[in-house]
Amino acid sequence: MLSRYLVNDFGNAGSRSHLRGVVAKEAVELARTQVAEVVDCRADEVFFTSGATESNNLAILGLRDWAVESNKRHIVTSSIEHHAVLEPLEHLVTHGFEVTFLPCGESGRVSADQVAGALRSDTALVSIMHVNNETGVEQPLTEIADILRDHSAFFHVDAAQGFGKVLEPLKHPRLDLLSISGHKIYGPKGIGALVARRRDGRRPPLSPLFFGGGQEKGLRPGTLPVALVAGLGEASRIAIRDHQARLTTNILNQDAALSAFTQLGAVVNGDLEFVLPHTLNLSFPELNSEAVMLALKGVADLSNGSACTSANYEPSHVLTAMQLEEYRVEGALRFSWSHLTGDVEWTAIADSIQIMM
């Protein structure tokens, strides 16, 4: 798939005067349809970006002009969002916006009631992630969307961790803006999309963040990377096709991991009822996460937080926001796997950890 559009059909999807451009355009539009099918939206509501970080910025900062003109400068979000959401919001605060950060308890979830209680007449945006990138805890999007049915605020969801893994919630028509990344569903890195659903026939009033071309209906200029776009489309198609098989495989791995680690007294960070089956965030009593990762080097690749901030050894803002005990924050380890991981020697990993106790 990638090699075809990198080598043989190396056309510009914006060039309609020759066959290679037409072929590239067809590949892009097919991918747009394939992404749309995952969330049950229209193909022309999918805008390709470099990934969820850019999509988050476009969704949040792109509403700024409209919000100012409408005199709506209040935003509701959670305290456990990814930095790709938190930092654009911090930028808006410096420009006169007010942000309500919903607290998050030990469960790792916010509630629809919290959102309802925070809404105001001047609320322009509600931004709540689909699945937390550190704990794997799914947020109650459907319930929040139902709360927003009679409110004008736009609902943005950072869906990077849930797109293609949990299908139904992202199909809710009240989810106005969805940010996704290709590599999270085993597609190429460097490609993603922003879904901007129409409401009452009108697209969210987003302004572009940069300029220099009419691509993506003028919302996101620049020559599209056809090979990456096609890869995201194909990954989206396969995610739907193989959804149940992947789910089954991941559940088996999660059950095996829990069986091995709970015998060592490991504590799951986040309400296990809502943790997706490809992730576990665990803390081991009296063990420091850095020491455990060093001991497991060559045995397992794991992290103690977000992959985006793995070079930063500051305590996790997510676990801190969950108000966990200090030992759980300092000792937290994030294990994740996929249907491609194969058989994992969870017992061997647990044995290596037990030696440190």
Phi, psi for residue 179 in degrees, rounded to 5: -105, 130
Handedness of CA 53, 160, 34, 235 (dihedral sign): positive
Are residues 151 and 123 in contact, defined by beta-carbon separation less than 8 angstroms? yes
Residue 308 annotated to the active site? yes
Q: How many CB atoms lie within 10 A of CB 113?
A: 12
Residue of 308, 310, 313, 325 marked catalytic: 308
- Using alpha carbons, select from 224, 194, 204 the residue that is nearest to residue 52: 194
Q: How many whole angstroms separate alpha carbon 348 and alpha carbon 260? A: 9
The length of the chain is 357
Query: For residues 262-276, b (16+ Cβ closer than 10 Å) or e, as one string?
Result: eebebbbbbeeebbb
Strand bridging mode 74-78 / 123-127? parallel
Residues with active-site annotation: 308
